[in-house]
Structure 1
Amino acid sequence: MSIQLIPEKDLPDFMTIVANAYPRMNLSTPEERERTLNHLLRLQNEEPTSHMYGVYRDGILRGGMILYDFTMTVFSIPTLVGGVGLVAVDLLHKREKICKDMISFFLDYYKKKGSFLTSLYPFRPDFYKEMGFGFGTKLHQYRLHPDQLPARTREHIHFLSAKDTSALVDCYNRYAMRTHGMMKLTSKRKVERLMDDPLTRIVGYKAGDTIQGYLIFTFKEAETENFVINDIRVREFICETREAFWELLTFLHSQKDQIRYCIINTHDECFHHLLDDPRY
């Protein structure tokens, strides 16, 4: 067995392994497979902080993963943190410790690079806890009626488009560099993919040409027979200033005529203090 960088010729095989490991990614159509293959090619050829490694047995790819060189703010200091994602094993070779071998390789890889921290999204927390990982910061989910949120002015709120990509990345990174535990965005590609997604909306607080806060959200059909009633799912909520924070909340409040719930995921331990009654 060997673990090595996946050459371009093996990327279609890796994509097939990923499609079987993660059925919800819906890589069943030729269009989706081509889109995903192009994404993997861009990662391999254009992203110096991403590295695709595969497990080979008898020269055949049996599993793979992507390693990420993250920069995390640790007590105000930018620090190298290893990340791993898209860990996938051939369905015919599960329970053969391939995943464990990949994670061990991942940990050793970043230890040799001088990193003392690694990060991942666990498919099984107990498996990774046995390997020495711990849990991160709690994520709180609020399901709020829009009129529970404060209402003030929203004169600086605008829809953001592709031309705002650099300003949005700058906003995120300024916030990340002041926030313990946040990762820096090292590439615009993540934001570009969101901008290209027809189901994703992004609004931001603009002060001149500078973005000082933004919301990334999608609409979700409410479980009612009324087709005009929806929920808003907030994917990301970043604010550098108090003014941006209040105006973005006001934007959510103003959707109360057709939005049933605003579903907000946040690490903020104090978010409930915004509400007159957090029980509802």
Structure 2
Amino acid sequence: MSGAEIALRVLTQGSKAETGQVGTLQQFRSAAIDMTPSTAAATSSALAAIHDLASGKPSPSGAAMSSADAVDAVKQWAKSGLFHAAAQGNADDAVRAAVKDGKLPTLPTLDDATYAVLSEPERKIYGVVGVLQGMYDAQPKTLAEALSSHVDAVLQSYPEAIARMQAGVADGTLKEAEGWKGIIADYQQQLDAARSGKMEIHSVDDKAQVREIDEFTVHDDGVGWSGRGLRVEADIPALQAKYGTSHVLPGASPYIGAYVITW
């Protein structure tokens, strides 16, 4: 049995992989030292990633693979039923779960020459997994991270945004009649709250107040890959009444559920 066949059997046998197949896979890893150093490293890395996926173990470091390791991994994934939908350019629940839970190593950007080595189904797997990894990586993993990310974004971008809007009102590009002074005031209040540490975050369990709709779909329009993450629907008046402030910003993450930031 080849090393690839061993790895794929580990991947597809579920709970059996934890008991009966790990030793066999380890034997193949040991045999890999007889290959050239670059081939051995790439093959061992790809098979290790497949074994970790089968056993439910997260990718050890989350760091991006080398281009050679990535090509080898994608070629191994293409032989597995787990990536059947991805090989057709679609993200299904199985691949979404694997990416969300960190069970696949992070794919790097490939140059044109390296990308050309992949077959069409392998390119689709690379595109689907890569886009999903980017979307899930951008999601906050804790409430503290969600709040910190928003505060940082406000502190970094709002001063310049306020200055530009003020300049637009001053030179007439932005019309006062269109409510720009009120918009500027809202931005300034949010910036002041971020600077003074007055922003707070609250978990929201009531789906009538905040509801997240997870999509995490991937699309190739022939020019490049794109994706849709999640949508948030919220009852703003209900949130304002509950938290006693007109300043509410609903959000959500597949890791922490729905939340609202107030100030």
Q: Kindly indicate which of the two structures has a greater share of residues assigned to strand.
A: 1
Name which one, 1 or 2, has greater alpha-carbon Rg.
Answer: 2
* TM-score tier (shorter): under 0.3
Query: TM-score normalized by structure 2?
Result: 0.28
